[in-house]
Amino acid sequence: MYASRLVEIGPAEQVFADPWHPYTAGLLGALPDRGFTPVPGHPPELTALPSGCGFEQRRPSLHTCEADPALVWSGERAVACAPVRAS
Protein backbone atom coordinates (compact mmCIF):
# COMPACT_ATOMS: atom_id res chain seq x y z
CA MET A 1 0.00 0.00 0.00
CA TYR A 2 1.05 3.56 -0.61
CA ALA A 3 -0.87 6.60 0.63
CA SER A 4 -3.81 4.40 1.62
CA ARG A 5 -4.13 2.74 -1.81
CA LEU A 6 -3.28 -0.77 -2.83
CA VAL A 7 -0.49 -0.56 -5.38
CA GLU A 8 0.68 -4.17 -5.64
CA ILE A 9 -0.59 -7.61 -4.73
CA GLY A 10 1.03 -10.98 -5.25
CA PRO A 11 2.70 -13.98 -3.70
CA ALA A 12 5.46 -12.69 -1.42
CA GLU A 13 8.25 -14.65 -3.08
CA GLN A 14 7.32 -13.23 -6.50
CA VAL A 15 6.89 -9.67 -5.27
CA PHE A 16 10.19 -9.76 -3.38
CA ALA A 17 12.02 -11.23 -6.38
CA ASP A 18 10.47 -8.97 -9.01
CA PRO A 19 8.50 -5.96 -7.75
CA TRP A 20 6.29 -4.35 -10.37
CA HIS A 21 5.34 -1.08 -8.69
CA PRO A 22 8.15 1.46 -8.19
CA TYR A 23 7.17 1.95 -4.56
CA THR A 24 7.49 -1.76 -3.88
CA ALA A 25 10.87 -1.70 -5.59
CA GLY A 26 11.84 1.30 -3.47
CA LEU A 27 10.84 -0.40 -0.24
CA LEU A 28 12.82 -3.50 -1.15
CA GLY A 29 15.82 -1.36 -2.09
CA ALA A 30 15.72 0.14 1.41
CA LEU A 31 16.34 -3.23 3.02
CA PRO A 32 19.87 -3.51 4.47
CA ASP A 33 20.73 -6.52 2.32
CA ARG A 34 19.51 -4.75 -0.83
CA GLY A 35 21.46 -1.54 -0.66
CA PHE A 36 19.85 0.32 2.24
CA THR A 37 18.77 3.07 -0.18
CA PRO A 38 15.86 5.15 1.10
CA VAL A 39 12.94 5.92 -1.18
CA PRO A 40 13.51 9.51 -2.31
CA GLY A 41 11.09 12.25 -1.46
CA HIS A 42 8.43 12.33 1.19
CA PRO A 43 5.05 10.65 1.52
CA PRO A 44 2.03 12.79 0.66
CA GLU A 45 0.03 14.53 3.33
CA LEU A 46 -2.52 11.90 4.28
CA THR A 47 -5.22 14.48 4.93
CA ALA A 48 -4.84 15.85 1.39
CA LEU A 49 -4.07 12.86 -0.79
CA PRO A 50 -3.12 13.57 -4.40
CA SER A 51 -4.86 11.97 -7.35
CA GLY A 52 -3.51 8.67 -8.58
CA CYS A 53 -1.57 6.40 -6.30
CA GLY A 54 0.37 9.35 -4.94
CA PHE A 55 3.77 7.90 -5.77
CA GLU A 56 4.12 9.95 -8.93
CA GLN A 57 5.02 12.96 -6.81
CA ARG A 58 7.99 11.09 -5.37
CA ARG A 59 9.41 9.57 -8.52
CA PRO A 60 7.99 11.37 -11.56
CA SER A 61 10.88 10.15 -13.70
CA LEU A 62 9.89 6.55 -13.05
CA HIS A 63 6.20 6.76 -12.69
CA THR A 64 3.05 8.26 -14.06
CA CYS A 65 -0.44 7.31 -13.14
CA GLU A 66 -4.03 8.15 -13.85
CA ALA A 67 -6.39 9.91 -11.50
CA ASP A 68 -7.79 6.73 -9.98
CA PRO A 69 -5.61 3.81 -11.06
CA ALA A 70 -7.18 0.39 -10.86
CA LEU A 71 -5.23 -2.72 -10.04
CA VAL A 72 -4.45 -4.61 -13.23
CA TRP A 73 -4.20 -8.35 -12.74
CA SER A 74 -1.79 -10.67 -14.50
CA GLY A 75 -2.03 -14.20 -13.16
CA GLU A 76 -1.65 -14.19 -9.38
CA ARG A 77 -0.34 -10.62 -9.32
CA ALA A 78 -1.83 -7.18 -9.62
CA VAL A 79 -0.30 -3.73 -9.85
CA ALA A 80 -1.75 -0.24 -10.07
CA CYS A 81 -0.57 2.37 -12.55
CA ALA A 82 2.63 0.67 -13.62
CA PRO A 83 3.26 -1.43 -16.69
CA VAL A 84 2.35 -5.06 -16.20
CA ARG A 85 5.12 -7.31 -17.34
CA ALA A 86 4.78 -10.87 -18.50
CA SER A 87 5.22 -13.30 -15.65
User: Half-sphere exposure (CA, 13 Å, Cβ side) for 64?
Assistant: 1
Taking the complex as a whole, how short is the minimal distance between the CB of residue 31 and Zn ion, in angstroms?
A: 22
**What residues contact 39, with CB distance under 8 A and at least 6 apart?**
23, 26, 27, 29, 30, 58, 59
Is 25 a binding residue for Zn ion by CB under 5 A? The answer is no
Determine which residue in the list 3, 15, 25, 65 makes contact with Zn ion, applying CB under 5 A: 65
Q: How many residues bind to Zn ion according to rule CB under 5 A?
A: 5
Determine which residue in the list 10, 19, 44, 52 makes contact with Zn ion, applying CB under 5 A: 52
| Nearest Cα residue to 44 out of 30, 59, 26 | 59
Question: Which span sits near Zn ion by CB under 5 A: 25-33, 42-50, 51-59, 70-78?
Answer: 51-59
Estimate to the nearest angstrom the gap between the alpha carbon of 24 and the chain centroid: 5
Find the residue with minimal CB distance to Zn ion. 65
Q: Which residues bind Zn ion (CB under 5 A)?
A: 52-53, 55, 65, 81
